[in-house]
Amino acid sequence: MQIEQRSFLVTGGASGLGESVVRAIVAQGGKVVIADLNESAGQVLVDELGDNTRFVRCDVTSGDDVQAAVAMAEEAFDGLQGSINCAGIAVVQKLLDRENNPADLEAFSRGVNINLVGSFNVARLVAASIAKRVAASTTAEVNADNGIIINTASIAAFDGQVGQGSYASSKAGVVGMMLPLARELTRHGIRVMTIAPGVFATPMIQSLPEKAREQLEAAVPYPKRLGNPNEFAKLVVHIIDNAYLNGEVIRLDGAIRMV
Ligand SMILES: NC(=O)c1ccc[n+]([C@@H]2O[C@H](COP(=O)([O-])OP(=O)(O)OC[C@H]3O[C@@H](n4cnc5c(N)ncnc54)[C@H](O)[C@@H]3O)[C@@H](O)[C@H]2O)c1
């Protein structure tokens, strides 16, 4: 699918990987609705990037919020061709603490709700918008690459570490739902892909203590550094462009395997 003149919903687009995706799509002549909880950062980005962007305050776990974001893209940009779901949080807690007290169930659920249920919520509403447009069109065809849904998992889906029970299971869920969704959406010409990033230099990682960041960097075989968010955005651009990529999860991780 070409990016120029097409419009995309980027959740979590006000920061980190999502922000980088927003910049890359706009640089290619595409249009973006940034859907994020962070209003001030989202507005700063729209002010900088101009008319091909809009911001909407959106919690990905809310049906009403995501529907409003989809409606904004349909109205402002005359239709929506896909979504890149980057909204996410990292809940870190062990099953048992130092005194053997059990983990907080609400914290576990919050991570699963935002990372997994939020991804499903965005996928269902974006797919409905694209499928209805295709059904109403006299020119659209099933093989015409009508839409693309890209979700962000994590290598934690495969190599979860101690303390990542919520995070790893939420991301494994993102990987697991991809194939059924990709299979179902073939009849609408909509592809579903997942990227599993390793460790990227974003506010999520930069907020870690310096020692923890250094350890992460040292664990990457090659290149021996954190991933640059631009490298994530380049993969998103390629996935959108390459119509034969469907129903697959791509690790983008400098060969790191977490232990
Ligand atoms: N940075 C990494 O190393 C890394 C590695 C693997 C996976 N990931 C995943 O990539 C995605 C982006 O991470 P990042 O590093 O750019 O993080 P980030 O914290 O820089 O950005 C995440 C954005 O999501 C938004 N957000 C959080 N909860 C939301 C909600 N309920 N609704 C809407 N927006 C919400 C935040 O406001 C923020 O702008 C996440 O899903 C994360 O799990 C990141």
- Residue ranges per domain, the chain? 7-245
Per-residue confidence (pLDDT) for residue 237, from 0 to 100: 98
- Cβ(11) to ligand 1 under 6 A? yes
Q: What is the pLDDT of residues 102-153, one digit of tens each?
A: 999 999 999 999 999 999 999 999 999 999 999 998 776 666 899 999 999 9
Among the listed residues 135, 153, 158, the one whose alpha carbon sits nearest the alpha carbon of residue 195:
153
pLDDT in the model for residue 208: 79
> How many Å lie between the centroid of ligand 1 and the Cα of residue 67?
20
| pLDDT reported for residue 210 | 86
Give Cβ neighbours of residue 157 (< 8 Å, ≥ 6 apart).
168, 171, 172, 174, 175, 196, 249
**Can you give the pLDDT at residue 59?**
98
Pocket test for ligand 1, best of 15, 38, 125, 231 (most atoms within 8 A of CB): 15
Q: Which helix (H) or strand (E) holds 147?
A: strand 147-152
The structure's pTM equals 0.97
Mean pLDDT, the chain, whole residue set: 96
Residue 14 Cβ < 6 Å to ligand 1: yes
Residues 6+ apart with CB under 8 A from 192: 123, 148, 149, 150, 151, 178, 181, 182, 185, 246, 247
Residue to mutate, 65, 89, 252, ligand 1, most ligand atoms under 8 Å from C-beta: 89
User: H or E stretch including 190?
Assistant: strand 190-197
Asked whether 182 lines ligand 1 (CB < 6 A), one says no
**Residue of 8, 77, 108, 167 marked catalytic:** 167
Q: Sheet containing 7-11: which strands, arranged edge to edge? A: 53-57, 31-36, 7-11, 82-85, 147-152, 190-197, 249-252
The Å distance, Cα 208 to ligand 1 centre, comes to 14
Q: Is 222 designated active site?
A: no
User: What does the pLDDT read at residue 258?
Assistant: 92
Query: Do the beta carbons of residue 84 and residue 234 sit within 8 Å?
Result: no
Show the low-confidence residues of the chain (pLDDT under 70). 140-143
CATH class as words, domain 7-245: alpha beta
Indicate which atom in ligand 1 lies nearest the CA of residue 60.
Answer: 32
